[in-house]
Structure 1
């Protein structure tokens, strides 16, 4: 197995109550679905970090030579087939600064704060623009 394990925390500030959210693996299967309430939601994503840096693992997706990201599945994509929503949010991880990655290799959990709602009032989807940049979690 290549790379050192690190943990990335994806925190959704204001998810839509009653909507299912989950991580999505490389086979597009929902993993760890959670029904949102009134509080923020967080998903801890295990990733392996190799020199380069290269991001590896069951949840890491790629696009082109350098873009790496993780999907959060929403509604039917998260396994709730009764949901009116079928969306995915793409969270870029290739943009995490090197100094934070060094802290992650020392055991720190890196966290990003994400929006929960889109302009249409539904769950945020497509490429999620963080509310706050990546940081070391408390």
Structure 2
């Protein structure tokens, strides 16, 4: 098992975010009062390729693996003006990083920007800063 962490930098203040659970419901919902970063940790299983599997992992085609971050209404806030998701790719994590984390128990981390150019919560496929060992 490998622990992955997605950090949402600059989320829109007060907007609820959550991982998407296996049954498509919100999981670990949280918001930031002042735009401070939000972090979501979850575990995955890995196989050579690299291939990543787990309760939060979705797939598209034979290679693409990703995780959804639910936003606003989809994260469990019926009063929110937003109902959207961020799609964060995880199939591009280097095999050597996955192997190292599996052996050492270290967490792999990436960051995404949570606010779009228009000032609303980012959505659709968002770019990451790249995957790294947390704390390095």
Q: TM-score range by the shorter chain?
A: over 0.9
Unmatched 5+ stretches in structure 1: none
Is the counterpart of residue 100 in structure 1 residue 89 in structure 2? no
* Partner residue of 1:60 out of 57, 60, 65: 57
- Structure 1 counterpart of 2:37: 40
Please list every run of 5 or more consecutive structure 2 residues that lacks an aligned counterpart in the other structure.
Answer: none
**Equivalences, count:** 133
Q: Residue in 1 aligned with 2:10?
A: 14
Does the 8 A contact of 2:20 with 2:68 survive in 1?
yes
Of the three residues 6, 9, 25, the one matched with 1:29 is: 25
2:61 paired with 1:71: no
For 1:81 and 1:109, how far apart are their aligned partners in 2? 33
The whole-number CA distance in structure 2 between the counterparts of 1:37 and 1:6 is 30
- Which consecutive segments of 4 or more residues in structure 1 shift more than 2 A? 50-54
Does 2:107 match 1:124? Answer: no
Q: Distance in 2 between matches of 1:37 and 1:97?
A: 34
| C-alpha separation in 2, matches of 1:108 and 1:16 | 29
Q: CA RMSD in A?
A: 1.0
**2:115 aligns to what SS in structure 1?**
coil
Secondary structure in 1 matching 2:130: strand
- Corresponding residue of 1:50: 47
- TM-score, normalising length from structure 1? 0.92
- How far off is 1:98 after superposition? 1.4
Matches of 1:45 and 1:37, distance apart in 2: 23
Report the Cα offset of residue 50 of structure 1: 2.5
TM-score normalised by length of structure 2:
0.93
